[in-house]
Amino acid sequence: MTLQLPNPIRPAFDKGSSDSAVIVNIGPSHPATHGTIQIVAELDGERVVRTDVHCGYLHRGFEKECESHTWHNLIPYVDRLNYCSALINDFAYCEAVEKLMGIEITPRCRHLRTLLSEYSRIADHLTCIAAALMELGAMTAFLYLVTIRDYIYEHLADLTGARVTYSYGRIGGLARDLPEGWLKRLGEILDEMDTFTGRVHGLVDRNRIFIDRTRDIGVISTSEAINWGFTGPILRSTGAARDLRKDTPYLSYAELDFEVPVGIKGDNYDRYYVRMREIDESAHMIRQLMEMLPAGPLCVDDRRCTFPEKTLVYTEIESLINHFKLVMDGPQVPPGEVYSAQEGANGELGFYLVSVGGGTPWKVHCRSPSFVHVGGVHRMLDGYQLADIVPTFGSINMIGGECDR
């Protein structure tokens, strides 16, 4: 039986611009690109003349699905956007809903969300750097970094019950408080991480092969990065100290001491180094937050969103009804619209929510950094070698779940 499969894309070009040009198709499933992405490239010899980048292979109707669930039920969905740092998605979404409801979270929750955001950022950067290095053949560095990432995953599983997609944020609070001894183990992991990232610095930073493959490759200037909507480590690698944690402080960032690392010229090497330095800054922030973490309640005392104590649900009728209404109808969010953004591991992660009142959103739109970055990545691929596509694409850290939604 032969099955003729229709082509899901229409390439922007199917003829080369010169006689010697060759058009090649890379992906959507290719062992050297992490993430399902298709790049149609025109080559002149080994040089990339132009590229046409297609995403969407992981599109699963996130925004459509959101319109038929309660505000609370969306939390597991937003987890699955950027699955390398799922907690940041949780908190960014919850913050947007809290703005619509006019809720101010408790100090303990605010500090804990900040701490966990930074912890997730570390895990995300470790994943990105590890994968990018492995694609260049640095297997040892990969193993060092994912060892720490695995410690973090196991440690977060202690707290949330899951390794990757945690569903830990709640509107107005968090799912549960820290287990005993969690902070002590956190300190141990951070210390161990310092050792391992130090080894990776030693292996990679001045490595001739690594420098040859990354220095002056995939260069982008600040003005061009802004024109193409780039945010996060990619924008900072061009030398612009733009970070929402500093520029529009949210959660507890205004109370913390930290620097915004920047690169020199916006090439692959700078993007590697900015991420490594951000890991250090995140660890520095977490150590401050461990000292600062106040006691007190975790969730706001607001019956519109916070579930009553289980013992009360079983013993008094008001709490039982409250619980029932929250599960069946969802938190009642007043009509309005909000755009709320946090500094995700990849850049500005924004949620645009529209409510018409009631327990279900009218519209949920996610401004995902990966999608915007993929829209401009051809600026960093064109003009370089075919083999440079792999490290450049790795330094973008495109996350399919977030890009394609």
Partner 1 sequence: MSEAVFEQVLEHLGGAALDASVTHGTLAVLLEPSGLLEAVRALKDTFGFDMFLDVTAVDWPERQPRFDVVWHFYSTHRRVRVRLKARVPEADATVDSLTGLYGSARYMERECHDMYGIAFRGNDDLRPILLYEGFVGHPLRKDYPKQKEQPLVPYRTSEAPK
Q: Using CB under 8 A as the criterion, which residues of the chain lie in contact with partner 1 when the complex forms? A: 1, 3, 5-10, 12, 54-56, 59, 61, 63-65, 67-68, 99-100, 224, 226-229, 231, 240, 242, 247-248, 336-341, 348, 350, 352, 354, 362-363, 365, 367, 371-372, 374-376, 379, 404-405
C-alpha triplet 341, 345, 351: angle, nearest 5°:
25
Nearer to partner 1, 35 or 186 (CB): 35
Within 10 angstroms of residue 24's Cβ, the number of other Cβ atoms is 11
C-beta pairs of 242-248 under 8 Å, 24+ apart in sequence: 243/343, 244/341, 244/342, 244/343, 244/348, 245/343, 248/341
Nearer to partner 1, 69 or 323 (CB): 69
Per residue, what are the HEC states of 112-125?
A: HHHHHHHHHHHHHH
- Min CB(339)–partner 1 separation in Å: 6
- Min CB(319)–partner 1 separation in Å: 31
Sign of the Cα torsion 128, 131, 134, 135 reads negative
Nearer to partner 1, 6 or 296 (CB): 6
Question: What is the C-alpha to C-alpha distance for residues 100 and 334, in angstroms, rounded to an integer?
Answer: 7
Nearer to partner 1, 105 or 374 (CB): 374
Residue linked to tokens 């720490």:
148
Sort 292 into a burial class: Cβ within 10 Å, 0-12 / 13-18 / 19+: middle
Question: What is the C-alpha to C-alpha distance for residues 265 and 222, in angstroms, rounded to an integer?
Answer: 9
Nearer to partner 1, 243 or 388 (CB): 243
- Min CB(248)–partner 1 separation in Å: 6
- Say whether 354 sits in a helix, a strand or coil: strand
Nearer to partner 1, 123 or 261 (CB): 261
Nearer to partner 1, 285 or 364 (CB): 364
Calculate the alpha carbon distances from 332 to 101, 326, 329 in Å: 8, 8, 8
Cα 391 off chain centre by: 19
Nearer to partner 1, 55 or 189 (CB): 55
354 DSSP β-pair partners: 337, 363
Nearer to partner 1, 354 or 387 (CB): 354
Question: What is the C-alpha to C-alpha distance for residues 343 and 157, in angstroms, rounded to an integer?
Answer: 23
Task: Using alpha carbons, select from 342, 402, 392, 405 the residue that is nearest to residue 33.
Answer: 392
Question: What is the C-alpha to C-alpha distance for residues 335 and 151, in angstroms, rounded to an integer?
Answer: 43
- Min CB(404)–partner 1 separation in Å: 6
- Min CB(189)–partner 1 separation in Å: 34
Which amino acid would we find at residue 365? H
Yes or no: say if 93 and 351 are a contact pair by the CB < 8 Å rule.
yes
Nearer to partner 1, 44 or 52 (CB): 52
- Min CB(135)–partner 1 separation in Å: 24
Q: Which two tokens stand for residue 393?
A: 């694409």
Nearer to partner 1, 43 or 235 (CB): 235
- Min CB(195)–partner 1 separation in Å: 37
Question: What is the C-alpha to C-alpha distance for residues 224 and 215, in angstroms, rounded to an integer?
Answer: 19
